[in-house]
Amino acid sequence: MDADCPFCRIVAGEVPAQILRQTEHVVAFRDINPQAPTHILLVPKEHLRSLEEIGEGHESLLVEMIQAAVQLARADGVDRTGWRLVANTGADAGQSVHHLHFHLLGGRRMAWPPG
């Protein structure tokens, strides 16, 4: 855990969040500044700064995060119309919290290319 990381503090229960799902390794909660009607963040409980810290042994964590995203998309009803799963890595990509996380976005038409 990184005491300065807002996502670590949510995982630890020190900061309130609308938790939608929690497993041994993953926590999912609503974004406090949603960019779409459905905007859910999925974070590993382990503090990893970004996708660049993924290595051998993290395969099951990534599968668990993606499976959780699929289940949450279904639960929110965006599986019928489409949804996007995004991981920003680094400042130029828009990563503002340096704890690996996926954004699950849906409930509106998405533009391409993003950004």
Which residues sit opposite 104 in a β-bridge?
A: 40, 85
| Spatial separation of the C-alpha atoms in residues 102 and 85, rounded to whole Å | 6
Q: 21 phi and psi, to 5 degrees?
A: -155, 140
Q: Are 48 and 99 in contact (CB under 8 A)?
A: yes
Which two structure tokens, joined as six digits, stand for 34?
Answer: 């949603």
DSSP per-residue codes, 80-93: GT-EEEE---SGGG
| Spatial separation of the C-alpha atoms in residues 82 and 78, rounded to whole Å | 6
Active site residues: 101
